[in-house]
């Protein structure tokens, strides 16, 4: 059974591993080895990764005692990181994490979320009502990494059919 919960300090080493695997294994269908190396050249050190997350709200998905994914939310409404283990992709783990994150954002009065989404993540976010605001390719070590800035108005219901009216990004 999957549990989605706030992150605990002892989860952080697992999150660093999920981040590394998400980039280097999970993103392999859409990114070249050179792009993945430029994106994340080395596994993040748990201490440095913990510092990066220290001012964010972090939710984790756990199954049978193993953390299988996580998402982070900055105070300004930016979804910073969204990663699941490659072997749980398509299982609903990311859906559950996003629902928890969106509910937490609404509870604190946030009405609009933004993210910089990888080519892998864009279809997932689009299914959940996020819209591309602008292309946002990243240049790292001379390598272009495709991405897009996306946003979701939390006051706009998620589409359930193609015939429904879209909320326009503000």
Closest to 129 measured CA to CA, from 106, 161, 105, 104: 161
Q: What is the pLDDT of residues 49-88, one digit of tens each?
A: 999 999 999 999 999 999 999 999 999 999 999 999 999 9
Domain count of the chain?
1
Residue 1: pLDDT band (50, 70, 90) is: confident
Q: What is the pLDDT of residues 11-34, one digit of tens each?
A: 999 999 999 999 999 999 999 999
Q: For position 23, what pLDDT does the model report?
A: 95
Q: For position 158, what pLDDT does the model report?
A: 58
For residue 161, tell me if it sits in a domain. no
Quickly tell me which residue has 């939310």 as its tokens.
Answer: 73
For residue 57, tell me if it sits in a domain. yes
Which residues span the domain enclosing 8? Answer: 2-111
For residue 141, tell me if it sits in a domain. no
Nearest 5 degrees, angle CA 129-CA 133-CA 139?
120
Look at the pTM and tell me if it is higher than 0.75. yes
Phi, psi of 91 (to 5 degrees): -95, -5
Question: Would the pLDDT of 110 be above 60?
Answer: yes
Q: How far is CA 78 from the centre of its chain?
A: 10
Q: For position 129, what pLDDT does the model report?
A: 93
d(CA 55, CA 75): 8
d(CA 3, CA 134): 34
3-class DSSP assignment, residue 29: coil
For residue 86, tell me if it sits in a domain. yes
Q: For position 77, what pLDDT does the model report?
A: 97
CATH of the domain at 36: 3.40.630.30
């Amino acid at each position: 059974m999957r549990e989605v919960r706030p992150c605990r300090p002892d989860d952080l080493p697992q999150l660093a591993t999920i981040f590394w695997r998400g980039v280097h294994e999970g993103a392999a269908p859409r990114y070249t080895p050179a792009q993945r190396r430029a994106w994340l050249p080395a596994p993040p050190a748990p201490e440095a990764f913990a510092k990066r997350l220290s001012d964010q709200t972090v939710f984790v998905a756990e199954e049978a005692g193993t953390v299988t994914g996580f998402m982070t939310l900055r105070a300004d409404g930016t979804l910073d990181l969204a990663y699941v283990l490659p072997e749980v992709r398509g299982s609903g783990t990311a859906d559950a994490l996003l629902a928890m994150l969106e509910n937490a954002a609404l509870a604190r009065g946030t009405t609009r979320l933004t993210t910089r989404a990888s080519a892998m993540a864009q279809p997932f976010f689009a299914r959940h009502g996020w819209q591309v605001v602008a292309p946002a390719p990243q240049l790292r070590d001379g390598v272009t990494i495709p991405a897009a800035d996306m946003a979701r108005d939390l006051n706009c219901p998620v589409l359930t059919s193609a015939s429904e009216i879209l909320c326009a990004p503000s």
